[in-house]
């Protein structure tokens, strides 16, 4: 083995042995700071490879992903002084690595949880104390959590370098008497909404029905008017035809009208007529010329 190969092997061995002591990788999901004799020199390390020297230039790396804290169940009072036992959890992440390192005494996650938990409890206590049981459980829970996240996140970022991403309630336990009152309140609220919907539906139906009746009246009136106009035109045409027929042959016209009268009078076959034999009604029955 020549000296060059031996030198390469020695260098590789030294790098493998001492590399972790002088090189540090910050990955995409991590946040970090750089310390020099315990003092922060770089406040927010970007992902990449960093040269380190123990005790002189040392990085502190933290998990930059969204983390969770399971809160202990706490008792809160509502606006009506009703007791609720609330079990919740918090989603958070580091927003300011240097402030986080300083506030938690070295970036300890347990310390961050101990600092964040009282802020969440205080926020929940204030939000629950401003609302009724119904609003907390069903009416405004989403609004409560949204406002709480905004308020607590702002303070936490300023004080400990932590952003509160979300706060959620796992469950809310109620005393038996509170449960019954809440259910009664919810039932009454739903019945009120149902009555409102039915009232609006009835009002809408009456409006539709009235409009349909109005349109029906208009349509019937227009149809009647058109029928009367058509009947008048027909009567006028018939009168014109009768007049023309009478002018052309008066005798034939009289004969035709008499035959029409005979046909209409004896159409059913059950009618009984009492007339004098020499009545004009029978003149064409006695003679073809009506004499």
Asked if residue 112 belongs to a domain, the reply is yes
Distance CA 96, CA 25 (A): 19
The range of the structural domain enclosing residue 48 comes to 3-63
Tell which residue, 37, 52, 26, 32, has the closest CA to residue 100. Answer: 32
pLDDT at residue 12, rounded to an integer: 45
Domain boundary among 151, 174, 197: 174
Count of residues for the chain?
A: 291
DSSP code of residue 72: P
Asked if residue 73 belongs to a domain, the reply is yes
Same domain, 80 and 166: yes
At residue 214, does pLDDT exceed 80? yes
Same domain, 84 and 109: yes
Asked if residue 213 belongs to a domain, the reply is no
* pLDDT tens-digit map of 100-156: 988 888 878 888 889 999 999 998 888 888 888 777 777 677 888 888 899 899 999
Q: Give phi and psi for 64, each to the nearest 5.
A: -90, 0
Same domain, 169 and 80: yes
Asked if residue 230 belongs to a domain, the reply is no
CATH number (domain holding residue 169): 3.30.479.30
* pLDDT tens-digit map of 10-28: 444 544 454 456 677 788 8
**Based on the structure, what is the number of domains in the chain?**
3
Taking the mean position of all CA atoms in its chain, how far away is CA 200? 20
Tell which residue, 79, 104, 77, 74, has the closest CA to residue 89. Answer: 74
What's the number of CA atoms in the CB half-sphere (13 Å) around residue 124? 27
Q: Which two tokens stand for residue 239?
A: 């009168």
Q: Which two tokens stand for residue 224?
A: 């009647």
Domain boundary among 63, 94, 111: 63
pLDDT at residue 91, rounded to an integer: 92
Same domain, 11 and 56: yes
Asked if residue 216 belongs to a domain, the reply is no
Distance CA 90, CA 31 (A): 20
pLDDT at residue 11, rounded to an integer: 45
pLDDT at residue 276, rounded to an integer: 65
What pTM was computed for the model? 0.52
Task: Kindly compute the dihedral angle of the four CA atoms of residues 162, 166, 167, 168, in this order, to the nearest 10 degrees.
Answer: -150
Query: Any residues with CB less than 8 A from the CB of 115 and at least 6 apart, and which?
Result: 103, 104, 159, 160, 162
Distance CA 212, CA 210 (A): 5
pLDDT at residue 14, rounded to an integer: 45
Distance CA 193, CA 184 (A): 14
Asked if residue 203 belongs to a domain, the reply is no
DSSP element (H, E) containing 58:
strand 58-63
Mean pLDDT (whole number) for 228-236: 88
Same domain, 73 and 55: no
Same domain, 147 and 102: yes
Domain boundary among 43, 63, 83: 63
* pLDDT tens-digit map of 145-204: 888 899 899 999 999 999 999 998 888 877 666 667 767 877 888 899 999 999 999 889
Same domain, 102 and 48: no
């Amino acid at each position: 083995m020549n000296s060059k190969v031996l030198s390469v092997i020695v260098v590789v061995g030294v790098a493998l042995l001492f590399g972790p002591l002088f090189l540090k990788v910050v990955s995409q999901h991590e946040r970090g700071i750089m310390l020099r004799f315990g003092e922060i020199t770089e406040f927010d390390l970007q992902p990449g490879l960093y040269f380190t020297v123990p005790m002189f230039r040392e990085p502190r790396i933290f998990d930059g992903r969204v983390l969770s804290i399971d809160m202990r169940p706490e008792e809160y009072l509502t606006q009506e002084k009703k007791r609720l036992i609330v079990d919740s959890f918090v989603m958070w992440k580091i927003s300011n690595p240097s402030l986080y390192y300083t506030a938690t005494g070295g970036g300890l996650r347990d310390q961050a949880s101990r600092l964040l938990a009282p802020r969440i409890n205080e926020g929940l206590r204030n939000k629950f104390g401003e609302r009724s049981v119904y609003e907390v459980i069903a009416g405004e829970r989403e609004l409560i959590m949204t406002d709480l996240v905004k308020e607590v996140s702002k303070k936490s970022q300023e004080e400990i370098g932590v952003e509160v991403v979300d706060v959620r309630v796992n469950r809310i336990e109620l005393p038996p008497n509170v449960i019954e009152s809440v259910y009664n309140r919810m039932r009454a609220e739903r019945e009120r909404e149902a009555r409102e919907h039915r009232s609006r539906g009835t009002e809408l139906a009456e409006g539709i029905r009235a409009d349909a009746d109005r349109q029906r009246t208009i349509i019937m009136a227009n149809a009647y008017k058109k029928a009367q106009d058509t009947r008048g035109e027909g009567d006028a045409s018939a009168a014109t035809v009768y007049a023309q027929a009478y002018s052309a042959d008066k005798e034939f016209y009289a004969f035709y009208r008499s035959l029409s009268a005979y046909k209409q009078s004896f159409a059913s076959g059950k009618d009984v007529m009492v007339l004098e034999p020499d009545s004009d009604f029978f003149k064409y029955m006695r003679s073809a010329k009506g004499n």
